[in-house]
Amino acid sequence: MLPRYLSVTARLARRHGGRPRREATARVPTRSLEAIASENAAEGCVRETWGALFAAFQAERASDPALRRAFARIAGDEARHAALSWRLHRWALGRLGVEGRARVEAAREGAIAKLRAEIACEPPPALAEIAGVPRAHEAARLFDAMIAAVG
């Protein structure tokens, strides 16, 4: 069974002429707590939090009512993922040494810098209008507010 956000996005993609496909996933070997915490800091704390904010923005701005509804659901899902990531982050930091914590924080800061560069691109006008994707200046303001709120 697909996660809820994938079934929602797959249905929307089909409606707009897309052909969604399931991505292959690979098993990963057992990793250290620091490796897991570093990935969680980047993908969870930074990108899931951004995903929640981004989807909430789209839920307000998309001109297509079906997309607004879908993004509202996705925003809730992403917010729950982000909350779990932040809980895991705090738990893991409490179990790592000073140097491990510093490397995890460096991973998070690196993800912030990378994502800040990615969102500097202006979306196509149709995407901003129909799907409510924030324009570059709006994304920068949202991003700065997110960083101010969560560090």
What are the distances in angstroms from CA 118 to CA 17, 42, 56, 113, 136?
Answer: 26, 14, 19, 9, 10
- Report, in Å, the least distance between residue 146 CB and Fe ion: 15
Give the residue with the Cβ less far from Fe ion, 54 or 100.
Answer: 54
Nearer to Fe ion, 61 or 81 (CB): 81
CB-based contacts of 96-104 (< 8 A; 24+ apart in sequence): 96/33, 96/34, 96/37, 100/33, 100/34, 100/37, 103/34, 103/38, 104/34, 104/37, 104/38, 104/41
CB of 47 to Fe ion, least distance (A): 8
Residue with the CB atom nearest Fe ion in the bound state:
81
Residues that bind Fe ion (CB under 5 A): 48, 78, 81
Nearer to Fe ion, 38 or 40 (CB): 40
- Cα–Cα distance measured from residue 14 to residue 12, given in angstroms and rounded to the nearest whole number: 5
User: Any idea of the CA torsion for 29, 30, 36, 39, to the nearest 10 degrees?
Assistant: 0
Smaller CB distance to Fe ion: residue 83 or 96? 83
